[in-house]
Amino acid sequence: MLGALAASLATFSLLYGVFGIRRRLGISDRELVRVSTMSPLEYRSYQEHRRSVYERWLRPLVMLWGHRLRLRPMRVDRLFLIQAGVDPERFDGLELRALKVGSSLLAGAALFVVGLGAPSSLVLLPLAAWSGYVAPTWFLAARRRARQDQIRRELPDLVGVLRSFITAGVPMERALHLISSQSAESHLEPNLLAGEIKVALGRYGLGATIEQALDELTQRVGVDEATLFIGALMQGKRLGTGMEQLLRDQELLVRMGQRNRATAEASRVNTKLMGVLAAVYLPEFVVLIMIPLFWGIIRRAFG
């Protein structure tokens, strides 16, 4: 048990070094103006400074190891990586394969070191190696779910603010720009949905239609509620229906969905609490009551 825990901690440390460092989704307008005045040498230094520790030191070693071992690249879904917050242009199938092999060896080595003091834990060596191999995929999937949950929490407020701007007579494109700029810069924790809207507006500024840009946004986030909202918004824009009433209805829908998810989470707490109570009290019940009871019955029956 101790060996498996040590292997899990070692694998988590590696994965946290790869994906766990929070970075801003983009740069602010003020920083963008400063970057535009840099020389090529200053810009390269600026890019180097923004890179994480993994990108500076560990990634070259991982890629070198993958090429030396001639590992076969994994087939990775680009949308899956984007929805997990990973740039698919900087993270490919070969790097993922090398990370999986490396984390498997790291977990196995950690358990082997623990097994030197507790030889019985070496039985778990295949399980530790397998857990280390699948840990990067699990980590990406968990990161994707966490980002999607955060986007679901941010969506009702965004719809409400957008409805206020539309009611005040602000065009939809301008309203989205104001929301994305203010939300991205006013939160200590990055606002994921505001960042994705900013990317979509960038695509719109490069010549794509607003429908195409928002459709790409729904694919990048992978959240059904956002897809339904964007679809209703674009349909209302094409048909020329009242945007204020449409946004009011959509706000009611997303807030109702948020309330239903909160109710479902609260109902799951009771089940988890029952499991905790059973894990705490069941051993004492068995040791203090059931075992003496059956021991007394056996003694009376067989003398």
In order of their start, the domains of the chain are: 2-145 (no CATH), 150-259 (1.20.81)
pLDDT in tens, 55-75: 777 777 888 878 888 888 888
pLDDT: is 7 or 47 the higher one? 47
Give the position of tokens 């196995």: 108
pLDDT in tens, 137-149: 999 999 999 999 9
pLDDT: is 8 or 288 the higher one? 288
Lowest mean pLDDT among 52-56, 256-260, 288-292: 52-56
pLDDT in tens, 72-85: 888 888 999 999 98
pLDDT: is 102 or 53 the higher one? 102
pLDDT: is 292 or 303 the higher one? 292
pLDDT greater than 60 at residue 45:
yes
pLDDT greater than 60 at residue 22:
no
pLDDT: is 93 or 302 the higher one? 93
pLDDT in tens, 248-283: 988 899 999 888 888 888 777 777 777 777 777 777
DSSP string, the chain: -HHHHHHHHHHHHHHHHHH-S---SS--HHHHHHHHT--HHHHHHHHHHHS-HIIIIIHHHHHHHHHHTTPPPP---HHHHHHTT--TTT--HHHHHHHHHHHHHHHHHHHHHHHHH-GGGGGGHHHHHHHHHHHHHHHHHHHHHHHHHHHHHHHHHHHHHHHHHHHTT--HHHHHHHHHHHHHHH-SS--HHHHHHHHHHHHHHTT--HHHHHHHHHHHH--HHHHHHHHHHHHHHHHT--HHHHHHHHHHHHHHHHHHHHHHHHHHHHHHHHHHHHHHHHHHHIIIIIHHHHHHHHHHHH-
pLDDT greater than 60 at residue 11:
no
Q: Please, which pLDDT band fits residue 21 given cuts at 50, 70 and 90?
A: very low
